Structure 1
């Protein structure tokens, strides 16, 4: 019988197959020895039997030995063969009639053993007969069959058993010697017999797993040539000297980390060459958190997964299966399964920060490096290879994002073009990290790019205006005390931080000791009272400087007029005669109107109406009169301060009761001042100049001759 196992994969199936081998007659009968010599006394009785060792045939059934015969006709001997009650076969040479040494001292022939095969095979043994004088008692064993048991771990030279034979003859015919006949098929002799004592000993240790029993033949021969044969059966007792064996039939590694629980990882069988309890095997697995063993068929086991696997937690499992027998002491063997877990793209990249803030100075060089984003991906191989890109943005953000680029390999962030802090102070982009898995996993992070200011903008003076239009002068009364506010220089800087911190310094002045400038406020004040030695017209140059490195600056020119009263409003070099003597004409008309009020009522009314019409035309001409701080307090203070961010036009209308007004002195000397313009806008680039339109009073004073009426004046403009 030839047993074997058949293993099919995909799906995994197991079959036990046993093949019965049918014997064919491929072996001939073989005798243990080629020649046997018998010394037969001449007076042997008929029907004397001389035992022979039967022929051995490795075939079975009908193909084994079936019959024996003598090769040639022989009148003295015949062959007897058969089986005894215990199943042992025997072969005997039978003496048919007494021998006569005088007729024939020796003879020889062959015995043929024939098997039952088709065609039959045969084997022969040569029989040599020596006829001797009378020795009519052959040796006799005490037992026909000896059985002995020996442990397989017995050392070399150990006595297995002792056979004993006796002979009733005396002398040389009674001296017995034993010989051991080897079993057919054994190439190396395991046993040896002491020919005098009959002790059978081991020449080497036995192995139960190689042979569980050994059958021997022992021949006892006396001095007269008679012999006897006995059978010796040596049974080998098993000792637990073989550890269990684990034979792997199928093993799968690496194993994907998304393998479902219950998947068969390995199929193996366990076996033990020992028998009984020594060959009874049990298997165990050291760690059963993720894997377990389950019986499959007979002594087959399956190694299966019992829970989900995670390569990022454990990339390799070393599983030790221990097989132990039930011997005493038990023997064990261990089979190690190294299960590698292959990666599955189940982890998205993770940025090492929730958001990034990077800084770049304005006016940077193109493609300047500003920082880097980095990620960690728990996967490996392509699943852990991360590439970076800018994520899609809304249309409104597109123009700002075009200045930023990210390196796809290392996440380095670059600014592609120079930036201007005054146009763009910060922008935000989204960087996407994607692995190379299938399908890829990605993550996004927000990167805020902050532009750092550089001192690249000089201060811009808003007031006083520095354009090409005629500059106005600030009016300062000579009675002003130290600390009097003359004007205020107003400037701005487009930079930020300390680059926009402005300081004001008096760079140059007609009288350096007369004025002082507030370092932080830009206010121009008198340092000391005005003296007679001071020039009426003063010019100052104020330096406006920022706090950048290096600092940038601008200058502002300020003009001031030192006046005792409003009669000093004449500007040196700029006075011009009045176009007409309007004041004198108006006074004459008023006196005549007052004297002839009753007579010339209609004339005076007509003149009054005519004057009103003329006044309207003069208002359109925009004559401006500069006033000093002794005018109406609410108006004069604002004009004297000179710190307003933009120019304003102020109008003053005098009532009929103003005969005692302090403006009377202007009557003979009032100069004609060119029309001034008001600046409208917030900066030099936005300035537009419009004439200041005066608004005249409706009041007249026809009944108060000699009094200067509001109708005689145009508006007063204070810048």
Structure 2
């Protein structure tokens, strides 16, 4: 219900960190949407008044009072009413309720609109058409063995792997006891990553899943018998993370060349490490190859500073190749390396030195001007 956009602000010279969070508040900019534009129920004429027929509720991307608040039927009729609310388990439900006995000989079919209204100002609505086909005899709807099925799948499992199997039973015999399974299309879902066997209820994946894209998937399965009665169950598929993402090193700032008189403790580079995996697969440690002049130290959260630890001397080493390795705690661990090439710039820290402390030179008397006497070297 809370939508936060966090980011970090980095200022240099002097180095400062700020954490910024922007809270987004919801407005009523989405209308309720039913999963299907038209829903058909095949209902036996022997159905008792008070029978309930489950419907897929409308989805509204808004939250709070801006989401779906009420349902109604238009035009109202004497045979059906709408019931909705929340069960003691916290699950929302939406059902058609049969108010009086049906007679196929009087009405073989009927239709009406089901309207969902949200609580915005002004309110928005969504509509689906409900068609009722009245049949004979089939007086037992399918019943799932569970109201909700929960399964797990590794994100690197290959296409065609079985996630779980749903099962519904029907006390009727013959064609009225034959059950077929199908998914109810979710709002906004374009291409499902799952496939259900219409006869066995076996659910398979159609493509490898990505934990970093979606950590879980919610599916709605409808079981329909040969007489048109149906039941709905929810399937929750949790995607289990595997270590398939190497750590990333993102450099925020880097200073090169460095003057050779740079004081120990000077920040040379600032970088952050991140890993899209979770748990131990996303826990990162950083290391610097053996160095006498540089070291790593934690700065903030996943930030690290590359700093000097002793005096530099360009006349001894003019360039340093520093390799920072980030490794996660997965099994096996994945690593990535970031190379920093630090050039050392010269400062005037060396006075001239003569090759000899004293020189002795000879010249003949009566020499001509500009005669070569000798040379000194520093």
Q: Place the TM-score, normalised by the shorter chain, in its bin.
A: over 0.9
**Greater helix fraction, Structure 1 or Structure 2:** 1
Alignment of 1:142-221 (within 5 A): 142-221=145-224
Q: 1:287 aligns with which of 286, 290, 307?
A: 290
1:178–1:198 contact (8 Å) kept in structure 2: yes
Distance 2:294 2:233 in 1: 60
Of 79, 91, 106 in structure 2, the residue corresponding to residue 88 of structure 1 is 91
C-alpha separation in 1, matches of 2:153 and 2:192: 16
Equivalent of residue 97 in structure 1, options 71, 96, 100: 100
Normalised TM-score (structure 1): 0.50
Select the residue among 20, 23, 26 that pairs with 2:29: 26
Runs of 4+ in 1 over 3 A off after TM superposition: 347-360, 420-431
Deviation at 1:358, TM superposition (A): 8.9
Q: How do 1:265-664 and structure 2 match up within 5 A?
A: 265-349=268-352, 421=366
Could you tell me how far 1:346 is from its partner in structure 2? 2.6
CA distance in 2, matches of 1:215, 1:260: 58
**Alpha-carbon distance, 1:100 to partner:** 2.1
Cα shift at 1:235: 0.9
Q: How many residues align?
A: 375
| 1:434 alignment counterpart | none
The counterpart of 1:76, out of the listed 73, 76, 79, is 79
Q: Distance in 2 between matches of 1:57 and 1:189?
A: 20
Q: Which has the larger radius of gyration?
A: 1
Quote the offset at 1:342 in angstroms.
2.2
Answer 1 or 2: higher relative contact order, Cα 8 Å, separation at least 6.
Answer: 2
Structure 1 portions without partners, runs of 5+ = 363-419, 432-443, 446-719
Whether the aligned pair in 2 keeps the contact of 1:287 and 1:319 (CA below 8 Å) is no
Shift of 1:182: 3.5
Name the CA distance, whole Å, in 2 between partners of 1:311 and 1:426. 41
Q: Residues 71 and 258 of structure 1: is their aligned pair in 2 closer, same or farther, counting only changes over 3 Å?
A: farther
The CA distance in 1 between the partners of 2:58 and 2:369, in whole Å, is: 114
1:248-274 Cα distance to aligned partner (Å, 9 max, x none): 122222222221111111111111111
Question: 1:52, 1:428 → 2: CA distance?
Answer: 113
Q: SS at 2:24's partner residue?
A: coil
2:259 is equivalent to residue 256 of structure 1: yes
- 1:178-235 Cα distance to aligned partner (Å, 9 max, x none): 0012433332210000000000001011111111111111100001001110010111
Provide Cα deviations, 1:35-83, integer angstroms capped at 9, x if missing partner: 1111111221111111011111112222221111113222211111112
Q: Aligned to 2:281, what secondary structure does the other structure show?
A: helix
Contact 1:294 1:303 in 2 (8 A): yes
CA distance in 1, matches of 2:324, 2:74: 65
Structure 2, unaligned runs of 5 or more: none
Partner of 2:238: 235
| Separation of aligned partners in 2, 1:429 and 1:118 | 102
